[in-house]
Amino acid sequence: MKKNIALVMGGYSGEFDISIASGNQVYGQLDHAKYNVYKIVITREEWYGLTRGEEKVPVDRNDFSITVDGQRVRFDLAFIIIHGNPGENGVLQGYLDMLGIKYTTCGFYTSSLTFHKGYCNPVVAATGLVKVARSVLLYKEPPTEAKLDELVQGLGYPVFVKPAAGGSSVATTKVKSREQLLPAIREAFAEDRQVLVEEFIAGREFDCGVFQFAKGSKYENWHPDFKHKLVFPVTEIIPTGGHEFFDYAAKYDGFSNEVTPAEVAPEVAHHIQEVSYRLYDLLGCSGIVRFDYIYDEEHRELYFLEVNTIPGQSAESIVPKQARAMGIAPAELYEMAIQAALGGC
């Protein structure tokens, strides 16, 4: 019997449109002869499914089901492609756990931890695998004008100001002076109740995807150093068009060059892959995950930026490009993600 797959997209954050684009890309790559795939869209106002004719049908949140042509459809698996709240922060995973529905992402605890940069960074730093920039976590409201100098003491300018829990660099600002600091903090507080003010690290930005496949995969022995996981080729992100870092416009409006595999010394690329491979387990990850770093070439030190537990899956997203560089088509990658989630790893 064909499995019923809920392809869950949308969400409550500024990444809604990106999630829809990723979801539509995944939908086109899944094997519809093998699975009954239904688009499920989550918004603050409503949760609804889309029939093959794009007719909206409400989701029954009591059991996460829909009714199509008079037939109740219950799902064997949720393929979650929501970036941000509630898909990447563990909220949706907790709900599905209570219903006993499997899903393709990290679990509740890992999703909740990794989504909050202010909580995740100290955990990553404690592993000793990679450096983490110094930072200050602000709660509930911006500081007073009198507290600004104290806030950046020990960090210096420039600093990055960003929502502690968020993605796609929404409301993230590179602040170069005291005059810019408070407006940037207020902008970040408009997105989240906690804000991170972080030391600037000069260097090159690199990303690396990791995926733990199901037992018995043909990729079981693909690399002697990376057992039971695919560790994708490293990508370098090079902002263009006057963008100083990989902000929202650089990511989604074409103001960046993304080089895969990265043109970097082999030992540096391997180090990034090894750190990603080990962090995946230490943070309790599952599914397709992407780790982001800054490499300080002058001091030859790698700094952790963040982990994306539901990275973008549009045609131009980084992880699909990394997979293609390994000779893995998106359809094969998503099939492996489904099998890993259904069968366990």
pLDDT, tens digit only, all 345 positions of the chain: 899 999 999 999 888 999 999 999 999 999 999 999 999 999 999 999 998 888 999 999 999 999 999 999 999 999 999 998 999 999 999 999 999 999 999 999 999 999 999 999 999 999 999 999 999 999 878 887 878 888 888 888 999 999 888 655 667 899 998 899 998 999 988 888 899 999 999 999 999 999 999 988 999 989 999 999 999 999 999 987 654 544 444 444 556 789 999 999 999 999 999 999 999 999 999 999 999 999 999 999 999 999 999 999 988 899 999 999 999 999 999 999 999 999 855
- Which residues span the domain enclosing 39? 3-103
Q: What is the pLDDT of residue 255?
A: 60
Question: Which of the listed residues 103, 122, 147 is the one where a domain comes to its end?
Answer: 103
How many residues are recorded in the chain? 345
Single out the residue of 81, 82, 87, 73 nearest to residue 36, CA to CA.
73
Q: What is the pLDDT of residue 195?
A: 92
Single out the residue of 79, 75, 46 nearest to residue 63, CA to CA.
75
Q: Are residues 121 and 245 in the same domain?
A: yes
Q: Are residues 324 and 181 in the same domain?
A: no
Q: Are residues 153 and 25 in the same domain?
A: no
CATH number for 70: 3.40.50.20
In angstroms, rounded to a whole number, what is the distance separating the alpha carbons of residues 276 and 278? 5
In angstroms, rounded to a whole number, what is the distance separating the alpha carbons of residues 169 and 20? 18
What is the residue type of 296? D
In angstroms, rounded to a whole number, what is the distance separating the alpha carbons of residues 328 and 330? 7
In angstroms, rounded to a whole number, what is the distance separating the alpha carbons of residues 274 and 265? 14
Q: Are residues 311 and 334 in the same domain?
A: yes
> Are 277 and 231 within 8 A, CB to CB?
yes
* CB atoms inside a 10 Å sphere around CB 51: 13
What is the DSSP code string of 137-162? EEESSPPPGGGHHHHHTTT-SSEEEE
Strands 3-10 and 35-42: parallel
Cis status, amide bond into 320, omega within 30 of 0 = no
Strands 256-259 and 77-80: unpaired
What is the residue type of 262? A
Single out the residue of 212, 234, 187, 237 nearest to residue 289, CA to CA.
212
The burial of 43, by beta-carbon neighbours within 10 Å (0-12 exposed, 13-18 middle, 19 or more buried), is given as: exposed
CATH number for 333: 3.30.470.20
Q: How far apart are the first and last CA of the chain?
A: 22
Q: Are residues 30 and 152 in the same domain?
A: no
Strands 71-74 and 65-68: antiparallel
Q: How many domains does the chain have?
A: 3
Single out the residue of 125, 53, 115 nearest to residue 80, CA to CA.
115
Q: Are residues 82 and 163 in the same domain?
A: no
CATH number for 163: 3.30.1490.20
Single out the residue of 247, 260, 242 nearest to residue 316, CA to CA.
260
In angstroms, rounded to a whole number, what is the distance separating the alpha carbons of residues 8 and 45? 15
Which residues, other chains included, contact 148 with Cβ-Cβ below 8 Å and sequence gap of 6+? 178, 181, 182
Single out the residue of 246, 164, 254 nearest to residue 205, CA to CA.
246
Q: Are residues 232 and 318 in the same domain?
A: yes
> Are 20 and 9 within 8 A, CB to CB?
yes
